[in-house]
Amino acid sequence: MLNMGLLSLYFLFLLLSISSGEISSQVGINYGQLGDNLPSPKQSVKLIQSLGAKRVKIYDANPDILNALKDTDLQVSIMVPNEIITNISTNQKLADSWVESNVVPFYSKTKIRYLLVGNEVISSSPKEIWYNIVPAMRKIKNSLKTYGLNKIEVGTSMAMDVLESSFPPSNGTFRSDIADPIVKPMLQFLNRTKSFYFLDVYPYFPWSMDPKNINLDYALFESRTIKYTDPVSNLTYTNLFDQMVDSVVFAMKKLGHPDVRIWIAETGWPNVGDIDQIGANIYNAATYNRNVIKKLTAKPAIGTPARPGWVLPSFIFALYNENQKPGPGTERHFGLLYPNGSNVYGIDLSGETPDSDFEPLPKPDNNEPYKGKIWCVAARGVNASELGSALSYACSQGNKTCDPIQPGKECFKPDSLAWHASYAFSSYWSQLKTAGATCYFNGLATQTAKNPSFGHCKFPSVTL
């Protein structure tokens, strides 16, 4: 028979086991599907397991993926699409119906544990949807209760742009337009339901926007000497990731919720980018992801300077390089895997494989800003009909974008669709890049450092 002292220790151990099981330091993966060349859900689940992931987040409730995840040990996070948040926010029956169709048939063989209401809604959706996030979260939570699915926690993911100020971390403050009407009730909901603030954290972006003042090693967790001490909190930081997370911690504190737990919903580093995108390479991506995994899986948990010892459950972004994601080249190159299932670089999401066991990494060649001219030309092998539509779009923007490719003008010949589109793309991009235009055109265009000008036809360029 156990004596009382041993019995007390046993119950303490049991309690610690249960609480650590609830929010373990295991790392998961974001499984995006914006590619026309990706492996099947069944193959993808095997690949996820081979990477050592313990969790997976998808950006919808895809039934094929949820079926493929049945009878695995992977904890699963699913998502209500942004487009239906407004309807669900005012209609409990619709929320019930969504849960009945997208959760009930798969639970409990598929370990659905988290349900996010929208993805970066504040960053990517019309303003009128913002105010419906929390009402929709409440409706979905009510629906889960109705069906007895009380283990599933409800949240929503937020990017760093919801902050008005993030530096120094102690100055972290939510934007004034959303703090009281949206974020405060959301934090109240998360606190009451014991859920998480799901945060997307990408040190790559602040570093790439200001590489002169932010040290690359500090962003990659590689610095041994660079430290920053917050002048107000007196907390000392050794990496950019902690700074970013703590700015959210302080922002939540200002709204009266200092203890809402944070879940890293997305973090990662791009393995390729456009010519004008600094530091997007395999070396940096592998270095960042390996280091952040070491931090996130450390036992005992490291936490951050503002929350030492707190577990930060997480999902790395992303499983694949996704060729249909819009925007700059980095958007399509955050994957740990190529679409054929092979590794972009060696990685183990469990954090158990030492770096020395991986193949050597290729040396980075774009850690300094590109200096020179860049042109935007039609990509090879693209659909002619789509290219024609993109050409028409570029030429319709005014500013005499396409005057030189009119019949009889200096760039009309050679009279080919690819030539005319290439001129139009370069002309459009050179004029409108400062206003936010990209050299993408739905995947029909690509950047080049090789001057495509020919004869009397001089292509406009972007000079960096």
Q: Are residues 331 and 436 in the same domain?
A: no
Q: Tell me, what's the pLDDT at 56?
A: 98
Question: Length of the chain in residues, anyone?
Answer: 464
Question: In one letter, which amino acid is 430?
Answer: S
**Is the pTM value of this prediction over 0.95?**
no
> Of 314, 330, 357, at which residue does a domain stop?
357
Domain presence at residue 10 = no
Q: Are residues 348 and 404 in the same domain?
A: no
Q: Are residues 243 and 296 in the same domain?
A: yes
Q: Are residues 395 and 330 in the same domain?
A: no
Q: Are residues 310 and 444 in the same domain?
A: no
Q: Tell me, what's the pLDDT at 25?
A: 81
> Of 357, 382, 416, at which residue does a domain stop?
357
Q: In a 3-state reduction of DSSP, which class is residue 315?
A: strand
230: Cβ contacts below 8 Å, ≥ 6 apart? 168, 169, 170, 236, 237, 305
Q: Tell me, what's the pLDDT at 323?
A: 93
Give the HSE-up count for residue 154: Cα atoms under 13 Å, Cβ half-sphere: 27
Q: In a 3-state reduction of DSSP, which class is residue 71?
A: coil
Q: Omega into 328 within 30° of 0, i.e. cis? A: no
Q: Are residues 320 and 394 in the same domain?
A: no
Structural domain containing residue 69:
21-357
48: Cβ contacts below 8 Å, ≥ 6 apart? 29, 31, 56, 74, 319
DSSP state of 181: I
Beta strands in 23-94 (DSSP E): 27-31, 55-58, 75-80
Question: In one letter, which amino acid is 368?
Answer: E
Listing DSSP states for 224-284 in one string gives: SS--EE-TTT--EESSHHHHHHHHHHHHHHHTT-TT-EEEEEEE---S---TT-TT-SHHH
Domain presence at residue 362 = no
Task: Give the integer Cα–Cα distance in Å for 421 and 410.
Answer: 15
- Which positions are catalytic? 120, 266
Domain presence at residue 4 = no
Cα Rg, the chain, nearest whole Å: 24
DSSP H or E stretch at residue 375: strand 373-378
Nearest to 355 by CA among 346, 366, 367, 364: 346
Q: Tell me, what's the pLDDT at 107?
A: 95
Strands 173-174 and 163-165: what pairing?
A: antiparallel
Q: Tell me, what's the pLDDT at 22?
A: 54
- Which CATH number does the domain housing residue 322 bear? 3.20.20.80
Domain presence at residue 15 = no
Q: Are residues 270 and 226 in the same domain?
A: yes
Q: Are residues 345 and 399 in the same domain?
A: no
Q: Are residues 325 and 392 in the same domain?
A: no
DSSP H or E stretch at residue 336: none
Q: How many domains does the chain have?
A: 2
Question: In one letter, which amino acid is 134?
Answer: V
Q: Are residues 25 and 90 in the same domain?
A: yes
- Which CATH number does the domain housing residue 385 bear? 1.20.58.1040
Contact 59, 106 (CB under 8 A): no
Q: Are residues 180 and 112 in the same domain?
A: yes
Q: Are residues 325 and 394 in the same domain?
A: no
> pLDDT tens digits for the chain (464 residues)?
444 444 444 444 444 433 334 577 899 999 999 999 999 999 999 999 999 999 999 999 999 999 999 999 999 999 999 999 999 999 999 999 999 999 999 998 999 999 999 999 999 999 999 999 999 999 999 999 999 999 999 999 999 999 999 999 999 999 999 999 999 999 999 999 999 999 999 999 999 999 999 999 999 999 989 999 999 999 999 999 999 999 999 999 999 999 999 999 999 999 999 999 999 999 999 999 999 999 999 999 999 999 999 999 999 999 999 999 988 999 999 999 999 999 999 999 999 999 999 999 999 999 999 999 999 999 998 999 999 999 999 998 877 889 999 999 999 999 999 999 999 999 999 999 988 888 999 999 999 999 999 889 999 999 98
